Structure 1
Amino acid sequence: MQEWKETFGELKEQYVRRSSERLGKIVEMVSILIEKPGDIDTVKQLTRHFHWLAGSGTMYGYPAVSMLGSEGESHCEQVIRGTLPQADVDRLKALLHELSFQFSEQDAPPDTVTLGTGAPPEQKRTENDILIVGEDLNDLQTMARLVEAEGYPVRTARSMSTAVNEIQAELPIGVIIEIPLPDGDCYEMVEQIRSMNGGDEPAIIILSKRTGFLDKVRSIHCGADSHFEKPIDTKAMLRRLRYLLDKHKKEVVKILSVEDDPDQAAFIRAFLESAGYQVRTVTDPKHFESALSQFQPDLVLLDAMLPGVTGYELARFIRQDERYATLPVLFLTTQGHLEARIESARAGGDDHLVKPVPPALL
């Protein structure tokens, strides 16, 4: 978390500096429109600058900048579509004044963003730690030696209460439980593990003296991955443990982000990488095809408004190739109206998020 805060602070400094430069360009364009309020080429350029501000403001702690940018973008689009005969220069000057004020305030927004949604933090985990729970000391020591011989560090507990404390202190990647236990229902403990944040990941194996069919059903029902009857076939149990641990290993998810605004591109990449994803950024759509082929992403994030091409056109390009027929495509756009959502779906998008996107949702 501290590393992300430092990265965010550096990105924010760059954002404020670039935004000041961007405001200078907006001043130049508004000056042109004072003389030629119907100059569509200038209005189109102005639209892109407002679009960038609309998408990036909230990311960096300036929600008012996003709101003002969205208002400016909407006004320019109405001029381009012909809904308005020409740009309202007075309105644009007022927006420019408000934007300048946002970046010149003495009480700047804090260098933080909301990263969570109120959920409890995930339990700490070591790389390959197994917790073995059982009342019989000899059985416990024997099982610990077998698991350690497989290369896994081991912790042990001789009661359910001790096991629960161990799990709450540090979530293991695997739990082996010999039942019955002296102080509680092991099935209840398994349910408790599964209800924890991240508790769906540990491999859980129950070793039982009980041979009834309903006992096996109860083991699976509570969330255990396997149920072995005593006397244990240790080779089969260890094979099952290795299989479950390999199954639970997560490959790093690769995300291809297509965003031409450098501030938004940098934020998206840094934030997603801090969450454990591998991210490649494309700022020029001309390089999209080669990046898609070389990177082989698990997910594509597309800005709808790009230079020379739209995100919708890139999505259609993706869907024309059968190799990417099921590749998830997510649109990030300042356009939240129904027509934009319909266009996203028609182009082959799987979802449509409206900028500014809250970091926790991203």
Structure 2
Amino acid sequence: MSFNEQLLALQRQYSAKLPDILSDIRGLADALVADKHDTQKLESLAEQLHKLAGSAGTFGLSALSTQAALLDRRLETLLAADADPDWYRNESRLLQTELYNLQHFAAPDQLPGARPALSGELAKGEGLAAEVWLLEDDEFLGSSLLAHLEAFNFTARLFTSYAQLTEAYALEQPEVLVMDVLLGAEGRSVDRLQYSGLLKKAQSRLIFISARDDFNARLQAASLGAEGFFIKPLDVPKLVTRVEQVLTRLHAPAERVLIVDDDELLARYYQELLRGAGMESDILHEPERIIEVLEQKYPDIVLMDLQMPDISGQNLAAVVRQYEQWMGLPIVYLSAENDPRQQLKALNQGGDDFLTKPVDDAHLITAVKSRVVRSRQLLELMTKDSLTGLLKHATIKDSINREWAVAKRKGDTFCVAMLDIDHFKEVNDRFGHATGDEVIASVATLLRQRLRATDILGRYGGEEFAVLMANCDAMAAKVVLEDFRQRFQDLQFTSEDTSFSVTISIGLAEYRPGMDVDAETLLVNADKALYEAKKAGRNRLMVYGA
């Protein structure tokens, strides 16, 4: 069953269920006239109207959704008013009549099967070719950049003229396009490129390089969606790192969404909608289990109904915020509540955004994706080293502790490696700290390129790095790390007119099921192996206990 067929099936289920919902509302409407003090039935009526207002529009019944929301507000006003019995009796009978007539608003907005498919931008696509293209008319600089990109395992192509790029672009597009803002020979600036049609239709992520650093050039680059702007002479490691970051975001794991809603059918609709857009989603109907589920699923974002039986969304969000590890987790309320004061109150108790039901499909998908992107960026700032983009010292240690506990419970094998740049002080003393930073950044970039996507990488301190390789024994880890070591020594760094290379030493420690060692001991063992590698002459890998 296709994505849109699944949504239509849910829509039909809702249509089949709707007569019973309206029948329940009519029965509860009788209690409104019979006894104002029958609080249980009146609360049930308010709950049913609130849910109907939020769900009907989602399933193609916008007129019913609007009317239910209107009657929900009138019911709230009626029950809150301190008026004489005759006024209440008249108003409640009028409201009862309108509740009985809700069925007249139940005509669908469109015929079953006519639901439009999501656009290609919102649905999960096949992705672009895994290439980086470079437009640079300075052939020497372009060739140098091409060599750097290829050294870090990128597939790269160089174009020295705009005409060459245009011809190639008509046939295929790369994932990332790095281009000079102002090509001297052709005199093409960003504003002219903007109207050329090439960039207006480009699916590639754009990174600009330029000899100019003026606001107008940057503003025009931003208008084209630039994800980086670098000034010549180029800091090549930083440019390569940005390319790698852009590609990492493009190939990032699917967004993980937790839906907390007591309306089962509506929650399933949201789940299928998000899955159709390439996201992973889980539904929680028991709010009291939220912390347990957060620790199991570790979602990127929570979509939470505001009004649920026995517990409000805003109080549930406040509970989540009591846990330090969930302080930064985005919580977006999905509710039919349209009173701005109630929305602000909910936001003040731990929410990040408020979407009013019914929510347009494209709006919901875009809101979730943009929130997750920003959340992941902020999480990186908090947990990752600014120079390398690798995990900070404390975070990598926490990761090793966590993975050790998982491996011990499951009986898995994993390895911890410590890496240290050889004679790094000499690099700083001879070429300066800026060049030293380039070397450090290059270690990080090459580690990301050569190791597995599942491996956890951290900057342990200074010129020292830590690597955690789960589900991997020492023999397999050694093959991967030896490949990295050899490729790193082949890199060429340049400082003024001097080219030089740098080597790295590696210590490796293995954890096997049944071993009486904890995470801290593994780190110590890897460090001991690193010391042995240094002692044996550097530029080599040693395995602890081998």
TM bracket, shorter-chain basis: 0.7 to 0.9
What is aligned with 1:247? 245
Does residue 101 of structure 1 match 2:100?
no
- Looking at structure 1, the residues matched to 212 and 138 of structure 2 have their Cα atoms a distance apart, in angstroms, of 21
Does residue 315 of structure 1 match 2:311?
no
Q: How far 1:266 sits from its partner (Å)?
A: 2.1
Deviates more, 1:50-59 or 1:151-160: 151-160
What is aligned with 1:217? 213
How is 1:60-75 mapped onto 2 (pairs within 5 angstroms)? Answer: 60-75=59-74
Larger CA Rg, structure 1 vs 2: 2
- Looking at structure 1, the residues matched to 54 and 108 of structure 2 have their Cα atoms a distance apart, in angstroms, of 20
Equivalent residues of 1:125, 1:172 under 8 A apart: no
- Looking at structure 1, the residues matched to 232 and 353 of structure 2 have their Cα atoms a distance apart, in angstroms, of 43
How is 1:201-216 mapped onto 2 (pairs within 5 angstroms)? Answer: 201-204=205-208, 215=211
- Looking at structure 1, the residues matched to 198 and 332 of structure 2 have their Cα atoms a distance apart, in angstroms, of 30
Q: How far 1:70 sits from its partner (Å)?
A: 0.7
- Looking at structure 1, the residues matched to 122 and 267 of structure 2 have their Cα atoms a distance apart, in angstroms, of 29
How is 1:166-181 mapped onto 2 (pairs within 5 angstroms)? Answer: 166-167=168-169, 171-177=173-179, 180=183
How is 1:316-335 mapped onto 2 (pairs within 5 angstroms)? Answer: 316-335=318-337
The amino acid of 2:213's aligned partner reads V
Equivalent residues of 1:256, 1:280 under 8 A apart: yes
Deviates more, 1:146-155 or 1:299-308: 146-155
Change (3 A) 1:15 1:132: same
What is aligned with 1:209? none
Equivalent residues of 2:8, 2:113 under 8 A apart: no
Equivalent residues of 1:254, 1:278 under 8 A apart: yes
Equivalent residues of 1:124, 1:170 under 8 A apart: no
The amino acid of 1:72's aligned partner reads L
Q: How far 1:247 sits from its partner (Å)?
A: 1.3
Q: Which has the higher contact order (CA 8 A, sep 6+)?
A: 1
How is 1:1-362 mapped onto 2 (pairs within 5 angstroms)? Answer: 3-33=2-32, 35-36=34-35, 38-82=37-81, 85=88, 88-98=92-102, 100-103=103-106, 108=111, 111-112=114-115, 125-133=127-135, 151-154=153-156, 157-164=159-166, 166-167=168-169, 171-177=173-179, 180=183, 182-185=185-188, 187=190, 196=200, 201-204=205-208, 215=211, 217=213, 221=218, 222=221, 225-226=229-230, 237=236, 240=238, 242-248=240-246, 249-250=248-249, 251=252, 252-362=254-364
Change (3 A) 1:198 1:276: farther
The amino acid of 1:101's aligned partner reads H
Equivalent residues of 1:61, 1:113 under 8 A apart: no
How many pairs were matched up?
344
Matched-pair identity in %: 19
Instruction: Write the deviation string for residues 329-355 of structure 1: whole angstroms up to 9, x where unpaired.
Output: 222222222320331233132233322
Change (3 A) 1:122 1:15: closer
The amino acid of 1:322's aligned partner reads E
Cα RMSD over matched residues? 4.3
Q: How far 1:35 sits from its partner (Å)?
A: 4.9
- Looking at structure 1, the residues matched to 135 and 92 of structure 2 have their Cα atoms a distance apart, in angstroms, of 73
Deviates more, 1:89-98 or 1:342-351: 89-98
- Looking at structure 1, the residues matched to 282 and 75 of structure 2 have their Cα atoms a distance apart, in angstroms, of 31
What is aligned with 2:384? none
Instruction: Write the deviation string for residues 119-176 of structure 1: whole angstroms up to 9, x where unpaired.
Output: 9999985152222335699998997687567554455645314424655775522224
- Looking at structure 2, the residues matched to 321 and 113 of structure 1 have their Cα atoms a distance apart, in angstroms, of 41
- Looking at structure 1, the residues matched to 322 and 46 of structure 2 have their Cα atoms a distance apart, in angstroms, of 30
Instruction: Write the deviation string for residues 54-105 of structure 1: whole angstroms up to 9, x where unpaired.
Output: 001222221101112112322332344355746724533433333x234467
Equivalent residues of 1:174, 1:204 under 8 A apart: no
SS in 1 for 2:68: helix
Q: TM-score, normalised by structure 1?
A: 0.74
Change (3 A) 1:143 1:327: closer
Q: How far 1:15 sits from its partner (Å)?
A: 1.9
- Looking at structure 2, the residues matched to 67 and 338 of structure 1 have their Cα atoms a distance apart, in angstroms, of 17
Instruction: Write the deviation string for residues 304-357 of structure 1: whole angstroms up to 9, x where unpaired.
Output: 101110011112112222323333322222222232033123313223332222
What is aligned with 1:211? none
Change (3 A) 1:167 1:337: farther
SS in 1 for 2:104: helix
Equivalent residues of 1:134, 1:157 under 8 A apart: yes
SS in 2 for 1:175: strand
Equivalent residues of 1:61, 1:109 under 8 A apart: no
- Structure 2, unaligned runs of 5 or more: 365-546
